[in-house]
Amino acid sequence: MKVVIEDIGPGEEEQIIIRCRNINDTIMKFISDLKMEQKKLVGLKDGNMVMIEPQNVYYFEGVNNKVFIYCKQNVYETKLKLYEVEADYENTDFVRVSKSIIINLSKIKSISPAYSGRFEALLFNGEKVVISRQYVPELKKKLGL
């Protein structure tokens, strides 16, 4: 693969051109990562709006018709619906693991089997998230297992 970087003049718009024979998972992930870099999340905490980088999110959780953004140490509320989060971060490291949780795969330290076909993910911040058995096949697919 050849990488070409060109300087552009003032006033010219930056662009990325991908030339390939076939679009594979690696290219789709690269495109998604680029798009994710440009997106910012708005979190609400104590009446203040906070801009959150998606790569700092450990998981999203829906509770009582509200969606919360869990970061390393803080929790924020968002006005997004869980299905909107899922659509916005399709083909990224975010994957739904239950009806109410979308997790960031890059924040998982380990995964272990739990009861009744479920799994449990230990995150780098020490939290544990239960993965429902109906979402285990999709998780395994995303992890390449």
User: What is the predicted pLDDT for the residue at 62?
Assistant: 96
- What are the structural domain ranges in the chain? 25-104
Give me the pLDDT at residue 37, please: 64
Contact 42, 79 (CB under 8 A): yes
Q: Which two tokens stand for residue 36?
A: 């994710």
Q: Using 50, 70 and 90 to split pLDDT, how confident is the model at 38?
A: low
pLDDT digit string, tens, across residues 105-127: 999 999 998 888 889 999 999 99
Q: Is CATH 2.60.40.10 the right assignment for the domain spanning 25-104?
A: no
The fraction of the chain above a pLDDT of 90, given in percent, is: 52
